[in-house]
Amino acid sequence: MPESEKHVIGPGGEGYRLDKALHALLPDTGLRLRRRLCEDGRVLVDGKPQKPGYKVSPGQEIDIVGGLAVLSPESLGLKLVARGETFATVFKPGGVHSAAIAGRDEPSVEAVLPEMIPDVEPLLLNRLDNLTSGLLLVGLGREACELYRKYERQGRIMKFYLAKVAGRLDGTVIVRNRLDTDDRKTTRVLDEDDKDDCRWTFVTSLAHDHAQDTTLARCLILKGARHQIRAHLASIDHPIIGDPLYGDGEGDMLFLHHYRIELPGFSAEITPLF
């Protein structure tokens, strides 16, 4: 029998959807991943596979067949987008961790990279927030890491994102504010400008949805800081739709997607799902 991770629905859990109830067992996973586990038949309720919308009752036992460690790149929704001699890119959907978390047996892109690129030592070079979708850059060997750091210091890596934000945003805005990322859940936007222009966020309006009062914007960063785009956009009163930290989202989906990366001799692009 494969190993499984189990959880018993407690009092007050009656009527919850299965994909929501799974949060108690998988607190650091996104709703998309929990739904995918259900759709793949990996989630059993009292021994039977159930779909994401199944309504649970107190006393029922939820099993995740095989545990989390056996998740494959395909079950996580990952795919290899581009590969060169030195770098490669992998697509990560929202709801999946980029890097392995020390002391936790949770699914991550980093954990399955050797399976996706087995002929070299693949090394994760950048991270995306759990809810953010898009491209992750992978170094094909140790020399790629040094080259990446060199290009980043020189401001020669361009990372393009698409974001759906609240309200009408017109033209181009450069958010220059310095960020305080020290040991806190959210990044604080300071009143002073960052002297390093590679730390700025360049925002360009692409389209405004009058009915929803949202704007699709392109964001360019050169040296990414933790939550840089999310915090910078919220600081100019245009939080990203679905953002549970800087906006009014519930953590189901964040409309932020890393769609293109450019560095000397390599580039990759992938269209967002939204």
CATH number at residue 128: 3.30.2350.10
Task: Looking at the structure, tell me whether residues 41 and 154 fall in a common domain.
Answer: no
Contacts 24+ apart (CB under 8 A), 226-229: 226/179, 226/181, 226/187, 227/129, 227/179, 227/181, 227/186, 227/187, 228/179, 228/187, 228/199, 228/201, 229/161, 229/163, 229/201, 229/256
On whether residue 73 sits in a domain, the answer given is no
Predicted local distance difference test score (pLDDT) of residue 5: 62
Residues ≥6 apart with Cβ < 8 Å to 21: 9, 13, 56, 62
155/196 same-domain check:
yes
Please, which residues have CB within 8 angstroms of residue 119's CB and are 6 or more apart in sequence? none
For the cut 80, the answer to whether the pLDDT of residue 85 exceeds it is yes
Contacts of 27 by beta carbon, 8 Å cutoff, 6+ apart: none
- What is the count of structural domains for the chain? 2
Q: Classify residue 70: in a domain, yes or no.
A: no
Q: What is the pLDDT of residues 219-266, one digit of tens each?
A: 999 999 999 999 999 999 999 999 999 999 988 899 999 999 999 999
Longest dimension (CA), the chain: 59
Please tell me whether residues 50 and 157 are part of one structural domain: no
Residues 110 and 50 in one domain: no
pLDDT digits (tens, 9 = 90+) for 26-60: 776 667 678 878 887 889 999 999 999 999 999 99
Are 13 and 148 in the same domain? no
Are 50 and 166 contained in the same domain? no
In a domain, 71, yes or no: no
Q: What is the pTM of this model?
A: 0.79
Q: How much of the chain exceeds pLDDT 90, in percent?
A: 70
**Is it the case that residue 169 has pLDDT exceeding 50?**
yes
**Residue 37, in any domain of the structure:** yes
Is there a single domain that holds both residue 116 and residue 18? no
Domain membership flag for residue 274: no
Cα gap 136→92, rounded to integer Å: 7
Domain range spanning residue 230? Answer: 79-269
Same domain, 120 and 216: yes
In angstroms, how far is CA 119 from the centroid of its own chain?
Answer: 26
Q: What is the tens place of the pLDDT at every residue in 117-151?
A: 999 999 999 999 999 999 999 999 999 999 999 99
Provide the CATH number for the domain around residue 15. 3.10.290.10
Same domain, 265 and 147: yes
- Same domain? For 14 and 114 the reply is no
